[in-house]
Amino acid sequence: MISTILLPEKISLSKIYAGIHYSQRSEHKAELYISVLAAGLNRYVGPFPVHIHYHFAMTGKPLDITNHAYMVKLLEDGMVHAGVIPGDEQKFVGSVTISARRGIRTWWPSGFSPLRA
């Protein structure tokens, strides 16, 4: 069954992100940028757009899947800043998926997959 839900407005994660105090937002952004650099990801040269799967492992109870969205946004921004991907616009990143499990606190993109038209 397919259902359609009409949305009253477009609400971006960026609006929520903007509501976090600048000092905390900068700290989060820097921490996850350092994580991107530490992961040693190579520059992805295409084809574009890509599908990125983010897999998170968390000690204790994992977050609900959609609660990872803030970290995904910061990681994606970090990959752009580090030159791993040229941008986060839809022409470069066509889709993402998120998975999570219990384990040592880590994240990793499990690869870039070209999307087919």
Classified as helix, coil or strand, 61 is coil
Name the nearest CA neighbour of 62 among 114, 1, 106, 13.
106
pLDDT of residue 4 exceeding 60, the answer is no
Residue-wise pLDDT tens digits, 25-74: 888 888 888 888 888 888 988 889 988 888 887 777 777 888 888 888 88
User: pTM for this structure?
Assistant: 0.78
The H-assigned helical ranges of the chain are 13-18, 22-39, 69-81
Whether residue 51 contacts residue 115, with contact meaning beta carbons closer than 8 Å, is answered with: yes
